[in-house]
Homo-oligomer: A and B are copies of this chain.
């Protein structure tokens, strides 16, 4: 059995910096976590905020702190640092080998989709961004770590994709279609959802967009861990 995590991420059109930050960390008691934050507004200011939040959460998770406690700590930290004036959305997605579960932590109004045993569930219960008050709680959902599970997490750039053109991204239907294909990879699902979002924004994303897809697949039992990053060199890169 293998955990496949894939991310596809792009900036708001004509913006050189994404306000979304994403990092992956190994859990000290086994497993992996993905931390995604979307800072208020876009560009440099948003990037500073989302980086601050993700760094705090990653550091705590690496020390063995549980996901919910790490999310609360990040909220209090942001509230204190920025006097409650700045918000950030936060998602933590963990494959926890100690408990044998997949843990979804949300401080983000954007829903999360989970496909397990043929059904697609939409986790869309109320969930607020962190940073604006002292007692913000994350919404936490746990699933058994079972082969065939797929989880899709995304930032609000995808929620609002197509808004200006009277269109919207029906992630549930798209995901259903994608999962009908022959064992799609996580990267294929993430790329497909992102490219559809960019398409209905007429090729010019109206906001930063990030999609995370986690799948539990049978996989080759070779006990090799793999990581791959593809990073476009910016067009404004002074040396290219």
Once bound together, how far apart are the Cα atoms of A229 and B233, in whole Å? 21
Q: Mark A201-231, 1 if CB is under 8 A from B, else 0.
A: 0000000000000001001011111111111
Once bound together, how far apart are the Cα atoms of A80 and B43, in whole Å? 40
* Contact status of A5 and B229, CB under 8 A, knowing A21-B26, A24-B24, A240-B100: yes
Who on chain B is nearest to A30 by CB? B234
* Contact status of A6 and B227, CB under 8 A, knowing A51-B28, A145-B239, A239-B100: yes
A227 to chain B: which residues have CB within 8 Å? 5-7, 9, 22, 24, 227-230
A191 to chain B: which residues have CB within 8 Å? 224, 226
Q: Is there a chain B Cβ closer than 8 Å to A133's Cβ?
A: no
Of A21, A144, A190, most B-chain CB atoms within 10 Å: A190
| Beta-carbon contact of A5 and B231 below 8 Å | yes
A22 to chain B: which residues have CB within 8 Å? 227
| Beta-carbon contact of A187 and B7 below 8 Å | no
- Shortest Cβ distance from residue A21 to the other chain B in the assembled complex, whole angstroms: 7
* Contact status of A97 and B55, CB under 8 A, knowing A6-B226, A229-B226: no
Q: Is there a chain B Cβ closer than 8 Å to A153's Cβ?
A: no
| Beta-carbon contact of B223 and A11 below 8 Å | yes
Once bound together, how far apart are the Cα atoms of A191 and B222, in whole Å? 11
- Shortest Cβ distance from residue A233 to the other chain B in the assembled complex, whole angstroms: 4
* Contact status of A187 and B226, CB under 8 A, knowing A51-B28, A100-B237, A239-B145: yes
Some 6 contacts from A to B, beta carbons below 8 A apart, are A4-B229, A10-B222, A11-B223, A55-B62, A97-B237, A225-B230
List the interface of chain A (C-beta within 8 A of B).
1-11, 21-26, 28, 30-32, 51, 55, 59, 62, 95, 97, 99-100, 144-145, 185-187, 190-191, 194, 216, 219, 221-235, 237-240
Supplied contacts A2-B230, A8-B226, A227-B227, 12 more A-B pairs, CB within 8 Å: A2-B232, A3-B232, A9-B225, A9-B226, A10-B222, A26-B51, A28-B51, A32-B229, A187-B226, A219-B232, A223-B235, A225-B229
